[in-house]
Chains A and B, each alone.
Chain A
Amino acid sequence: MKREKKEKDPVILLLDGIILLLFFVLLVTAGTAAFYRKMADKRSFTQDPGMISFELQKGDYAGLIEGKYFNEFNNETESVSYHALADYVEAAFLYRIYDTKGDAERADAQRLLMEESRAAMGELSIFADRADEMLGTGGT
């Protein structure tokens, strides 16, 4: 027996269309709300690993160091390896000054910090090598 074809209710079809539309609106709204919520929860200057990585690719080593300090002051520990890299860059930056000016005591302290930081940065040591090249601390 041929089954009778069900007639679709046009009102239900319209409502289904509205639901589909609202679903996409809801998705976009939820994404936007999550973004602003995250922004609102964050401290003014803290940086996540993605942001630090982006800045690092651009050559923003100053931002790397500052980002580390702001993260530390606000108990953001997500970017541990980047923090180690920031410590390394800062220590290497100071090392070159103290070493050039003959301040052995302060230079040694920075040298020690460099070694400790390099051990904690994992895969990011490639950036430490780049920093050495940039700061002229590679041959030390």
Chain B
Amino acid sequence: MKCRYCGSNLGMDDAVCPYCGRENEQGAGHRALMSEARDTYDRTRKETVYKARTAGRIGRLIVIGLMLAAILTLWIGIRRDSDIEAREKQYEKRIAGEISRNGEAVAETLREMEENREYLAMNCYMLNYRLRSNEAYQDYARVFTAVISYGAICDDILNILGDFDGYQEKTDRDWCEDAAVYISDWDRYVGGAFWHDPPASPMHKGEHGAFLVDIKKDTQDMVQVYFGLTDAQASAMWEMDPESLGALLYESYRATAPEG
């Protein structure tokens, strides 16, 4: 554009002519427009920055809220699931429900195990379904005690053979003494007066009675074979006190398997 007073070249933004110093009236409208545009730009920019910051803050607060909600939910879950007592109660309830739904199947499985003399299986089955504390299986009291003792003695032998310390630094002698306790207590708890049941009680008559005879014989064979006892020692072991029997089992085992 040209200065209307001196004809020099002017820029649109020049307020006065740099040559004659007179006011650039032609650019006034443009400058006003530019000033307004700048104001609008600044205002819009401020608004945009404000909105963006607000949106950013709100978005982050929402994320934080969701994360806190998730943590809270998980924490409630941890509180519920880590309560061992409550979990055990829940488990007992579930077991009781299963037994009431499948009572006949459970009883039948137990009968089969008893008939087949599956001592270890029966021990685990009884534990799994908490049958020992179930009144419906009271007749099995001696049988259950017998399989528990058989299982414990079997475990002791396997622990000795497997050189397992039971996570408590147990030695072969400890396992021998443990087995001795179960053997010494056998007649009292499995066959004796501990249960205060009458002579004709189904606890030790019929199939249960035959089972108790067999399991005692099989336990004796197991101890005799793995501890290397003589026939006389094996027959006499039921009458021995735990200390003497523990020492005998340890010495006999050591004689057949010297400490390596």
Contact = CB atoms under 8 A, between A and B. Distances in A.
B193 interface: no
A39 B77 CA distance: 12
Contacts of B250: none
A18 B159 CA distance: 53
Contacts of A25: 67, 71
A129 B11 CA distance: 100
Contacts of A69: 120-121, 124-125, 128
B124 A70 contact: yes
Interface in B85-104: 87-88, 90-91
The majority secondary structure among interface residues of chain B is helix
Contacts, number: 126
Contacts of A43: 91, 128
A26 B67 contact: yes
Interface residues of B, number: 47
Interface of A: 9, 11-12, 15-16, 18-19, 22-23, 25-26, 29-30, 32-33, 36-37, 39-40, 43-45, 58-62, 65-66, 69-70, 73-74, 89-90, 93, 96-97, 100-101, 134-135
21 contacts: A15-B61, A19-B63, A22-B71, A29-B71, A30-B70, A32-B74, A39-B82, A44-B91, A44-B128, A45-B127, A58-B164, A60-B164, A61-B158, A66-B124, A73-B124, A89-B158, A90-B120, A96-B226, A97-B225, A100-B221, A134-B161
Given A12-B53, A12-B56, A32-B78, 7 more contacts: A19-B67, A29-B75, A37-B81, A44-B128, A62-B162, A65-B158, A101-B225
